[in-house]
Every structure is written in structure tokens, then in C-alpha cells.
Amino acid sequence: MKKEKEITVNDVIKFELLHDRFGLAGFDFCFIFKYGKLKEIFIYRRQQESNEGFHLKTAGYQRNFSIYSYCDKQDPNIWKCGYCKEHKTICFRVTVPNDTNTIRFEDFSIFNIIFC
């Protein structure tokens, strides 16, 4: 099991959009639900120089989440959904939109993951 870096909702994840060897950056998001509420998110880098992971604990009252970018940017591409054996939950593989280099989080009634 990998060791993930603990982050909070106020943190941002910076990344390089396009790499010479690896191509367009991507991320894996594993969402942990307990009793129908989002409790934790595990985030792993894909096709990037660094392969570090992140662990984010949510407030624990959201039942929904969304992955999007701001209106002047292209939407992220969720191109693969599957089962994560490590966390025993659903996993989304996301390709990042063009002209973005950070991921932000908003902890409202719906948990938002925003590429900006």
C-alpha cells in the first residue's frame, strides 16, 4: 500500500499539463463512501514525473461530488471508471483539461473537484 501525502480542502495540487515523455497529465480519484456519505478521497498522479499520492478527508456530510473546470476552460475527461482493489471502492481515471495546472477543492453540500 502506498503512503499518501495528507492534504486538506484548502490545499491545491499543482501539476505540469504536458510532459515530453509521458504526454498529457492525468489523475486517479478513489472515493470512499460510508453510509452513503463521502468520507475520504485518494488521488494519484498518472503520466507525470512524480507519482505521489494524496489523501483528503472530507467533512463527511456530502452525498455527491463533481469533477469540473471553470466555464472558460475545457471540461476534464473521465475516460475510465473501475474498481480499486486497494481501497475497495470505485475509481475514476481523469485526463486533465487544456490550459490548467492546478486542482482545487470546495467543501459545500456537493464536494467539488475543480481544475483551474
- Cβ count within 10 A of residue 68: 14
Of residues 56 and 99, the one with the higher pLDDT is 56
At 67-102, the pLDDT tens digits run: 999 878 888 888 899 999 999 999 999 999 988 999
Sheet with 53-57, strands from edge to edge, namely 5-7, 53-57, 37-46, 26-34, 89-95, 77-84
Query: What residue ranges do the domains of the chain occupy?
Result: 5-115
- The pTM (predicted TM-score) of the whole model is 0.91
On the question of pLDDT at 1 being above 60, the answer is no
